[in-house]
Each structure stands twice: as structure tokens, then as C-alpha cells.
């Protein structure tokens, strides 16, 4: 799968996947990370995508894979240098995503000042639900966002806690990267991230947007 599907049947070929780090205050606290003045942005390849109902596979280089549930913005038009006031015109819709993270690999990279590419971009690191049209969501910054592992709630927050809002995210990202229709932006995770192991089942849900289920092996 290298496409994002809408319920009405339309799909976009996914180009790049931009991801924000440190965009919820309580997650910054739990990671004992510093609040940053400019957004933390990293990229996953489109080969990281997994559809709902699929599997996340822990690569042999890690023994500590974490779940991060995130609101995902689907870009619908090409643009560069997009002003925040016009940014929502570039949004086709939203989806539920998981930013699966090899926390042990990431911690080592952080310590040594190396990139997060392996920790964040491995195969199956980006499970993605079907998308909903932008017009179906009246306020993307007022949605409950939840993740369960084997039925137990691990993450439960609201997108109103996002530090940088969607227009600001698009404006910032488009100063650095040309955005293209089908690009995805993962907008950061709330607190409650934690480890999953082989045999676990992850269910993620964002109100008005949908649900996503994957197994871990
Ligand atoms: Mg994340």
C-alpha cells in the first residue's frame, strides 16, 4: 500500500510522509524532552505504510517498539510557501495514523547526535486508516484521540492539546518542503506512549475520523 483511500473510493498516491515531534505538552514531559522553538520534523518513506487490519513487524534491531497515535493530515493540492491563512485550502482530509517508533534505537541516536531515520522509518512504521474528507470534520483541533493495546487504554487525549496547529504546521513544512497532493503529515502524539510486543493488538480511534487496528509481530 502506497496510497491513502477515502471512503468515497478516491485515493491519492502517497509521496512523502512528514511527521512532527514534540507537539503535545504532556508527551514532551513524559519524554523528558525540551520544548523546541521550531517544530521537530522528520520523514518516513511511503514503504512504511500499513493498512488497518495489517501487521506491524518489530525489526530484529529493536527490543523496544512504542506506539504513538496521531492525527494525520492528507494534503490535496501542490504548494510551497503556503501562508497559514490559506493552509486549510490544501487539506484534502484526515486519517488516523500510528508513528511506530523503535525507542531504543531512537534513544541511542539521540545520545550520539544521529538521525532518527531508522528508529522512525522502518517498514510497517506507519499504519494508516482510511481517510475522511476535510469537510466532514468541523474542528480538527477538538477531537478525542485514543489508543488501546489489547483493549486497555494507553493514550487518551484531545487534539486541542496540539501546540502547533494544522495551519501553522502546513505553513512551516511548506517553507522547507514542496507539498504535493497525497503527502501526509503526522501531527504528533499525546502522552501515554509505551511498548508493544509480538502478539499485541493495537486499536486507535479519533472522533469524527475513524479507527485503525493492527497486530504486532
Ligand atoms: Mg510521533
User: Which residue spans within the chain are E strands per DSSP?
Assistant: 3-5, 11-13, 17-21, 40-44, 49-51, 55-56, 65-67, 69-75, 91-98, 101-102, 126-128, 132-133, 144-149, 152-158, 184-186, 194-196, 201-206, 210-216
Per-residue pLDDT of 78-89, as tens digits, reads 999 999 999 999
Distance 83 CA to ligand 1 centre (A): 24
Q: What percent of the chain has pLDDT over 70?
A: 100
Distance 67 CA to ligand 1 centre (A): 9
Give, as one character, the DSSP assignment of residue 150. T
Region 168-196: mean pLDDT is 97
User: Which residues have CB less than 5 Å away from ligand 1 (the ion)?
Assistant: 68, 99, 189
Distance 99 CA to ligand 1 centre (A): 5
Distance 104 CA to ligand 1 centre (A): 15
Give, as one character, the DSSP assignment of residue 110. H
CATH class for domain 3-216? alpha beta
Question: Which residues neighbour 162 within 8 Å (Cβ) at sequence distance 6 or greater?
Answer: 23, 24, 71, 141, 187, 188
Distance 124 CA to ligand 1 centre (A): 14
Nearest to 61 by CA among 112, 103, 98: 103
Distance 72 CA to ligand 1 centre (A): 11
Q: Does residue 35 surpass a pLDDT of 80?
A: no
Distance 20 CA to ligand 1 centre (A): 6
What is residue 34's predicted lDDT score, i.e. its pLDDT? 82
More confident position, 46 or 36: 46
The pTM of the full predicted model, rounded to 2 decimals, is: 0.97
Amino acid at each position: 500500500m502506497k496510497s491513502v483511500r477515502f471512503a468515497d473510493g478516491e485515493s491519492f498516491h502517497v509521496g512523502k510522509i512528514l511527521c512532527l515531534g514534540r507537539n503535545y505538552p504532556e508527551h514532551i514531559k513524559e519524554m523528558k524532552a525540551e520544548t523546541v522553538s521550531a517544530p521537530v520534523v522528520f520523514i518516513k518513506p511511503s514503504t512504511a505504510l500499513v493498512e488497518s487490519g495489517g501487521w506491524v513487524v518489530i525489526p530484529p534491531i529493536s527490543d523496544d517498539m512504542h506506539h504513538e497515535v496521531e492525527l494525520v493530515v492528507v494534503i490535496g493540492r501542490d504548494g510551497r510557501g503556503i501562508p497559514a491563512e490559506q493552509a486549510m485550502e490544501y487539506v484534502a482530509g484526515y486519517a488516523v495514523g500510528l508513528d511506530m517508533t523503535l525507542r531504543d534505537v531512537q534513544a541511542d541516536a539521540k545520545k550520539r547526535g544521529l538521525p532518527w531515520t531508522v528508529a522512525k522509518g522502518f517498514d510497517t512504521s506507519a499504519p494508516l486508516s482510511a481517510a475522511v474528507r476535510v469537510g466532514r470534520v468541523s474542528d480538527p483541533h477538538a477531537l478525542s484521540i485514543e489508543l488501546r493495546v489489547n483493549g486497555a487504554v494507553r493514550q487518551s487525549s484531545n487534539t486541542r492539546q496540539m501546540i502547533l496547529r494544522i495551519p501553522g504546521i502546513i505553513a512551516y513544512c511548506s517553507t522547507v518542503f514542496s507539498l504535493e497532493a497525497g503527502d501526509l503529515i503526522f501531527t504528533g502524539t499525546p502522552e501515554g506512549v509505551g511498548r508493544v510486543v509480538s502478539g499485541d493488538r493495537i486499536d486507535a480511534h479519533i472522533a469524527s475520523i475513524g479507527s485503525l487496528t493492527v497486530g504486532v509481530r
